[in-house]
Amino acid sequence: MAESAIEHDPVNFETHPDRYKHWQLQVDGAVATLTLSVDLHGGLRPGYELKLNSYDLGVDIELADAVRRLRFEHPEVRVVVVTSGLPRVFCAGANIRMLASSAHGFKVNFCKFTNETRCEFEDMSANSEVHWIAAVNGACAGGGYELALACDEIFLVDDGSSTVSLPEVPLLGVLPGTGGLTRVVDKRKVRRDHADLFCTKAEGYRLRDAKKMKLVDDGFPRSKWQGNIEAKVAGALKARGGAQGRSGVSLQPVQPQITQEGQLTELTYEHVSLSIDGAKRVASLTLQGPKSTAPCSAKELYEQGDGAWALRAFRELDDALLQLRFNHPTEGLILLRTTGDSDAVLAWDSALSNMRDSGDWFAREVQLHQARVLRRLDNMARSMFALIEPGSCFAGVCYEIAMAADRSYMLDDPDQPNHIALHDVNFGAFVTHNGQTRMAIRYLGDPDQLAELQAHREQVEALEAEDLGLVTLSPDDLDWEDEVRIEIEERVSLSPDGLTGMEQNLRFAGAETCDTKIFGRLTAWQNWIFQRPNAVGDQGALARYGHPEKPVFDWKRT
């Protein structure tokens, strides 16, 4: 089954509420309602029907867009209610026919993208003063329950039939791959034995038992449903406080110009360029630093809106990363570069940080967005080398890109100035999935060095950068081209499976969190399970779902 699964057409991640097929976003003052009413025939590609509010990548792209617009276009919102527009059905989870007909890499990237959007719910709750309520007004299974789990509170209708369930293990031979296992025990603190019962009971639990096990917070009969949900919203609003007077910033489309000649593909944005060499299986991703001066006030930043470099450049970087994930799966190595003025980058970092410290919501959301894009970079199942050359601007937020890389090479050439520079943002603004900064992770074994660097604000040249541990290697101008070429050729010759396993482990050093378990552990196991015959073989559970024949398992435990 895995070998014959169809490949997908190129995916476009740009959308707008006017073009949504599956979600309705309604904003009423400080309350937003996201209603899921999936178009049965509106799948991203033909071959399956999206029954029972089941979803595919197209549904998730709309949800991710809606969440992003809530943050920037509707800063007045303090409570978001997620519910269903279909009678007696909340969400049946990921569409099984879509999964069964998808290539392996698409399935894994689909789960990862979905998880990143779920994490954005939680980021909004933690950092943007927005409370999420899942109003589960019907049957809720698999990814539908995982959608609810990403919210702060879950309320289930008590109608004698509606349940919550995670049926992936008993029905499909796979895992609740968008964070279900982790959020049940780590976030909702469900007892391990209860979680074991729940995750192997395909039909799930109705309100009484679900509430007892902490799978939901409460529930109400259908006759009192609307009034009780409104009361919960009012309580959340009172606890969160208001945000009157804020006016949002409109997000404009992010669409690259794409040219292709043979196996070379070029994607060009305003501040980002992506060059993909299919023959060499190498992608070059370049972020251009700011050409305009940093804003002097929150008013000036707001007037720049979506065009502000710090926001626009990272929205483009985000799109480029998703293009690589879904539309260019064989490029095994990303070469990360920057161009521009380091001082200009540092000035933007200072301006945003000062405005954020003064309580400006827009500056806060821009930095939070940068942090999320950098975490998307951490999650790339590709090798990443940062190339720091004369004319680079690896400083402040742009230096985070180099720290996200698996290795960084910095040219040491006395005839060409080449430096990196640190900023306060490198020590606090951009935490990874484990809640620590990349700088703290880099110096896990040397806290004294970390403290010394925190006071280091001078430009750092190549040899000193290597001595301080800020870069991996600093070849001189005589060895640069050959050494970098050899390292690139060696990297792309290695097993992609071995590299993915290695990189996912090394990138999440330090303390475990719910997020690191999702991306470093759960996603890795799902990656493996999605290739096993017990799930995706011709007689596997995923392939035979909905057919009268039972799956045929290889009973050996590994």
Distance, CA of 95 to CA of 526 (rounded, Å): 16
Yes or no: say if 145 and 184 are a contact pair by the CB < 8 Å rule.
no
Q: What is the 3-state secondary structure (H, E, C) of 352-398?
A: HHHHHHCCCHHHHHHHHHHHHHHHHHHCCCCEEEEEECCCCCCECHH
Q: How far from 308 is each of 65, 296, 320, 360, CA to CA, in Å?
A: 19, 13, 18, 15
Q: What are phi and psi of 20, to 5 degrees?
A: -60, 135
Tokens representing 234 are 């009012």
Distance, CA of 439 to CA of 404 (rounded, Å): 10
| DSSP for residue 102 | B
| 18 membership: H or E segment, kind and range | none
Cβ-based neighbour number of residue 512 at 10 Å = 14
**DSSP helix/strand/coil, 44:** coil
Yes or no: say if 310 and 366 are a contact pair by the CB < 8 Å rule.
yes
Per-position DSSP letters for 272-322, written without gaps between them: EEEEEETTTTEEEEEEE--SSPPPSSHHHHHHHGGGSHHHHHHHHHHHHHH
Tokens representing 480 are 């640069």
Amino acid identity of residue 387, one-letter, is: L
Distance, CA of 111 to CA of 528 (rounded, Å): 13
- Catalytic positions are 146, 168
Q: Which residue has the tokens 């999320």?
A: 372
Cβ-based neighbour number of residue 26 at 10 Å = 11
| DSSP for residue 478 | T
Q: How far from 394 is each of 271, 347, 485, CA to CA, in Å?
A: 15, 13, 21
Yes or no: say if 79 and 31 are a contact pair by the CB < 8 Å rule.
yes
Cβ-based neighbour number of residue 200 at 10 Å = 11
Cβ-based neighbour number of residue 5 at 10 Å = 17
Tokens representing 312 are 């626009």
Q: What is the 3-state secondary structure (H, E, C) of 184-241?
A: HHHHCCCCHHHHHHHHCCCCCECHHHHHHCCCCCEEEEHHHHHHHHHHHHHHHHHHHC
| DSSP for residue 109 | H
